[in-house]
Amino acid sequence: MAPGNAPFSRAEYTRRIAKTRAAMQQVGIELLFVTDPSNQAWLTGYDGWSFYVHQGVLLGLEGEPIWWGRHMDSIGAGRTCWMGTDQIFGYGDHYVQSTQCHPMQDLAEHITRLGFAGARIGVEMENYYYSAKAHMVLAEALPQAKLLDATALVNWQRLVKSEDEIDFIRKAARITGKVMSTAIDRAEPGLRKNDLVADIYHAGITGVDDLWGDYPAIVPLTPSGLDATAAHLTWDGAPMREGEATFFELSGCYRRYHAPLSRTVYLGKPPQEVLDAEAAQLEGIAAGLEAARAGNRTCDIANAFVGVLKSHGIHREGRCGYPIGLSYPPDWGERSASIRSEDETVLEPGMVFHFMPALWMDTWGLETTETILITETGSAEPLCNIERKLFVKD
């Protein structure tokens, strides 16, 4: 292992870089500038809460990658990246949130010094961490270069996980089990939602046995009653009430790898329409898992699930899942393939998805989901160990 504390072997990073370079060559990119912190970590091991300032990884077709960012964060890069400190560049604090200069001017100077001033440079244009201002300044500072859209180029290389990555996701799934069990066991009428979320966080960060928990890329989603008709609400200080369903969309996190899971708790006696929907949902999930086989497509999973719902008279539109693995806020999805009827990505062994066949109805919500691994043979393997059902506490 090289100087830092990167979580994987040099051979694993060499594999990832080779895949990325092959993709670069296919689209004619000579230098790639990666700003997504998940992609930075995947290529270099960099792990720090510094993505609120401009930073990134430069990857050419030869040599080691370069991590570039704020000088104070370059120290963290030296602690976490697999490369040596000669491959870590830091810019001064006078660039940070300045109206007089911009960090991309410093980056352009490095790119010019490295001989890429007139190169075809790929940038992640559709990305949370690469601003319109950054793109404008970089283009102005490199007038001879051609900036190309390399959105999700690295993301697609991450789709099939290595055995080492799958091991990390399995560890995250163990933590997820503890987190979800805590949510289900603690939920009761009168309990303030923020107190429940505090317990959820404690369970996730404490981890399981010797597996310590990292912070998940998405905060706990825990809406109840009418709030559960919406997909992405968090929590408040109101007490939980009898006669309401609460869904929990949670994930353990180990070394930035996730294993999301959703389960729903009903306090009291559920209405028949909720029980009927649960039966249809569980049947649909089983059909989706059966379709989640190597050689099939992501759309086959979605169509199998939606087909079952349709036979029960339930209309369901939209995406039913997405690939997961290494992620930073604000999203634990990898933003490449999707489990939906329009997506024909061929399933391969080693792909890991959050199969997300949730139901959001007019007056209640029902989320029951699984993190699934596409295997060499047979249907997908769910990685978490929480019983798949509506949990009724009356």
Q: Is the predicted pLDDT of residue 350 greater than 90, yes or no?
A: yes
Q: What is the pLDDT of residues 190-219, one digit of tens each?
A: 999 999 999 999 999 999 999 999 999 999
As a whole number of angstroms, the distance between CA 355 and CA 161 comes to 16
Q: Is the predicted pLDDT of residue 339 greater than 70, yes or no?
A: yes
- pLDDT score for 5: 86
Q: What is the pLDDT of residues 113-125, one digit of tens each?
A: 999 999 999 999 9
Q: Is the predicted pLDDT of residue 89 greater than 50, yes or no?
A: yes
Strands 120-123 and 146-149: parallel
As a whole number of angstroms, the distance between CA 141 and CA 143 comes to 6
* CA distances in angstroms from 58 to 42, 121, 211, listed in the order given: 13, 10, 32
pLDDT band at 2 (very low <50, low <70, confident <90, very high): very low
Sequence-distant (≥ 6) Cβ neighbours of residue 129 within 8 angstroms: 35, 36, 37, 51
Written as one letter, the residue type at 143 is: P
Q: What is the pLDDT of residues 272-318, one digit of tens each?
A: 999 999 999 999 999 999 999 999 999 999 999 999 999 999 999 89
Q: Is the predicted pLDDT of residue 8 greater than 80, yes or no?
A: yes
* CA distances in angstroms from 381 to 166, 294, 371, listed in the order given: 12, 12, 8
How confident is the model over 322-329, as a mean pLDDT? 98
- The verdict on pTM exceeding 0.95 is yes
Average pLDDT of the chain to the nearest whole number = 97
- pLDDT score for 90: 98
DSSP string, 244-313: EEEEEEEEEEETTEEEEEEEEEEESPPPHHHHHHHHHHHHHHHHHHHH--TTSBHHHHHHHHHHHHHHTT
- pLDDT score for 4: 67
Q: Decide if 8 contacts 255 (C-beta within 8 A).
A: no
Written as one letter, the residue type at 109 is: E
Q: Decide if 251 contacts 261 (C-beta within 8 A).
A: yes
Closest CA to 77 of 42, 34, 46: 46
Q: Is the predicted pLDDT of residue 1 greater than 80, yes or no?
A: no
As a whole number of angstroms, the distance between CA 36 and CA 140 comes to 22
Domains and CATH numbers, the chain: 10-157 (3.40.350.10), 163-393 (3.90.230.10)
Q: Is the predicted pLDDT of residue 3 greater than 70, yes or no?
A: no
How confident is the model over 316-330, as a mean pLDDT? 96
As a whole number of angstroms, the distance between CA 328 and CA 334 comes to 10
Q: Which two tokens stand for residue 39?
A: 């992609």
